[in-house]
Amino acid sequence: MKNILIVTNNMMPNSGIGRYSLSIVEQLRNLNVNHTVLTERDKYSGGKDEKNLLHSKVSAFNLIKNSFLVRRELKRCDNIHALDCWPYGVYAYLAVLGTQKKLFINGVGTYSVPSGSLLKTFFMRKAYKRSEKIFCISNYTRDRILEHMPYVKAEIVSLGTTKLPEVSHKQQEEYRKKYNFASQYPILLTVGAIKERKGQFETVQALYKLKDKHPNALYLMVGSTSDKSYITQIEKYVKEHGLGNNIKILSDVYSDTELAYLYSLCHVFLLNSNNIGAHFEGFGLVLLEAGQLGKPVIGSKGCGIEDVIRNGYNGYLTEQRNPEDIYEKLMLMLGEQYEILAKNSREFSKKFTWEHTVSSYVKYY
């Protein structure tokens, strides 16, 4: 069996790229694929196959230094797989120069599209040209890459979804006391960093309209609050429109069990992401997590979310930055179609497994 070198940012389960990387590595282990994982120095997850060698700050000096570190590790491996193009695919490209070793790169989202400085774009193009295969997590990501490089070998390999933990009766009681949201309807939920690209503000604006029909509605935003200006914008709107009892920001949800409880509590899950320049939503894994618990979903058109929502089947797609459209889809969803959408959402999420995802990689290794 070949030995694969995986290059990524981190494998920490409380970060988006970490959760994604960890899921891939765990499935490689399940499939008995020999592997080593290179991650950044300040982001050690404790994985037994993990080596924290990479310098985290991207600079010309570190680009060279990290490439040599990757090349040194590659001597013990047969092929290399970078889980995003910038900067990890570039490190991998520089590491394989002058060798016959295969290079694979995942096309994920914003940092997979050749854009930005001339130097960055130059090296990303070189990396893609040298790669044996580019595994794109959505049609949208693939199309964005092909706009810049129509001749590269890009293939759609969707992400899987990890089964959420069961919430015990004791834990349910504990969370019920902590949150005390059960009497509110409908409960809307978004999971992800609270920032413009995730579109929580437009959902808050839609909630204001929804409140006329459902005065007891509640919108839960679970995620990082590091974007202070965006949080201030939301808080100002909430105060001006009397939504204080209808909005909760939760920045301290650290366990998957607690997250599973909040998924189970909500009636509708939303991810109304916005494209901002070169930044876009590559897939929308949290929509599938919500689907595991039978929650119908609402998300944006014009990004990777289109691969996760089959419009009118497991949820509805909305125009970006359009609170009116979000409101209309919420009203439609909360009507007599709700139970069918919820059932379909649960079934649809079952199609996305890490076993299928990683097996698609391994056949090319």
**Beta bridge pairs of residue 113:** none
Taking alpha carbons only, the member of 175, 211, 180, 346 closest to residue 269 is 346
Q: Measured between alpha carbons, how far is residue 7 from residues 2, 18, 31, 88, 194 in Å?
A: 16, 12, 19, 6, 28
CA pair distance 318, 97, nearest whole angstrom: 44
Model confidence at 183, in pLDDT bands (50, 70, 90)? Answer: confident
Q: Which residue has the higher pLDDT, 90 or 45?
A: 90
Tell me the pLDDT tens digit for each residue of 250-290.
998 889 999 999 999 999 999 999 999 999 999 999 999 99
Backbone angles phi, psi at 92, to 5 degrees: -65, -40
Cβ neighbours for 29, distance < 8 A, ≥ 6 positions apart: 35, 49
CA pair distance 275, 288, nearest whole angstrom: 20
Asked whether 161 and 292 are in contact (CB, 8 A), the reply is yes
In this prediction, residue 106 carries a pLDDT of 98
Peptide linkage before 296 cis (omega within 30 of 0): no
Asked whether 330 and 349 are in contact (CB, 8 A), the reply is no
Asked whether 108 and 285 are in contact (CB, 8 A), the reply is no
Within 10 angstroms of residue 22's Cβ, the number of other Cβ atoms is: 21
In this prediction, residue 1 carries a pLDDT of 64
Cβ neighbours for 256, distance < 8 A, ≥ 6 positions apart: 13, 164, 165
pLDDT for residue 181 is more than 90: no
pLDDT for residue 3 is more than 90: yes
Mean pLDDT for all residues in the chain: 95
In this prediction, residue 16 carries a pLDDT of 82
In this prediction, residue 334 carries a pLDDT of 97
Asked whether 87 and 114 are in contact (CB, 8 A), the reply is no
Asked whether 225 and 344 are in contact (CB, 8 A), the reply is no
Taking alpha carbons only, the member of 46, 36, 100 closest to residue 69 is 36
Torsion of CA 302, 136, 342, 355, to 10 degrees: 180
pLDDT for residue 319 is more than 90: yes
Can you tell me the mean pLDDT for 161-187? 91
pLDDT for residue 32 is more than 70: yes
Q: Which domains are present in the chain?
A: 3-157 (3.40.50.2000), 169-349 (3.40.50.2000)
CA pair distance 353, 331, nearest whole angstrom: 31
In this prediction, residue 48 carries a pLDDT of 76
The pLDDT > 90 percentage for the chain reads: 89
CA pair distance 261, 267, nearest whole angstrom: 12
Runs of H (alpha helix) within 156-255: 169-179, 200-213, 228-240
Structure tokens at 270: 């939303």
Map residue 190 onto helix, strand or coil. strand
Residue with structure tokens 């694929």?
33
Can you tell me the mean pLDDT for 213-219? 97
User: Following DSSP, what letter does each residue of 42-101 receive, concatenated?
Assistant: T-----TTEEEEE-SS--HHHHHHHHHHHHHHHTT-SEEEESSIIIIIHHHHHHHTTS--
